[in-house]
Amino acid sequence: MTIANPLPNSVASSSALAEAGAQMWPPVSVVVNTVDRADSLAVLLAALEQQAYPNFELIVVVGPTEDHTLHLLGAYADRVRVLRCGRANLGESRNIGLQAARGEIVAFIDDDAVPCRTWLAQLVAAFTHPQMAAVGGSVHMVYPDAPVLQHRLGIVSDLGEQQNVRSPGMLPPGGRGIL
């Protein structure tokens, strides 16, 4: 189900922006894959409700679960499409979400992630370049005593060629990629 203008009283709720929405905000499908991580999934769902981007659907693919994940998702029945994956297999689970996606752009996010409010807007903005095939961003493990940066600056071409751009002055080939 599309979460349209999830933030009441936000700028995104104005009628002028709604009319321009189809051009300014292509539909995005956010896919979350989860198995037995209801507590972290609850935090993620709360963060996704705060997204500034107004035109996205949320698909949660649940693997064989023994915790309260399905009960948690029941509270989101009007806002989240819940699909099932019979095995604890991330690739299979992602494919189920991808096949169900209705958006022009598909964004995968881990069930233990906490995206910033502008996460989707930043991802969509990167796709304005006609040669852009995929985008990603920084992934931080947030611990008060030891913040760790898992991935900072890297690019992958549309052919799957990887390049580390951590060296000073290194730019994506031909202006492709996102820093």
Domain-by-domain residue ranges, the chain?
Answer: 2-115, 129-179
Q: Characterize 90-126 residue by residue with b for buried, 16 or more Cβ atoms within 10 angstroms of its Cβ, and e for exposed.
A: eeebbebbeeebebebbbbbbbebebeeebbeebbee
For position 111, what pLDDT does the model report?
A: 92
Class of 2-115 per CATH? alpha beta
Q: What gap in Å lies between CA 120 and CA 55, rounded to an integer?
A: 9
Contact 29, 102 (CB under 8 A): yes
Contact 80, 62 (CB under 8 A): no
Q: What is the pLDDT along the chain (179 residues), one digit of tens a residue?
A: 344 433 333 334 444 444 445 567 899 999 999 999 999 999 999 999 999 999 999 999 999 999 999 999 999 999 999 999 999 999 999 999 999 999 999 999 999 888 889 999 988 988 888 888 888 776 665 555 554 444 444 545 555 555 554 444 444 444 433 43
For position 48, what pLDDT does the model report?
A: 95
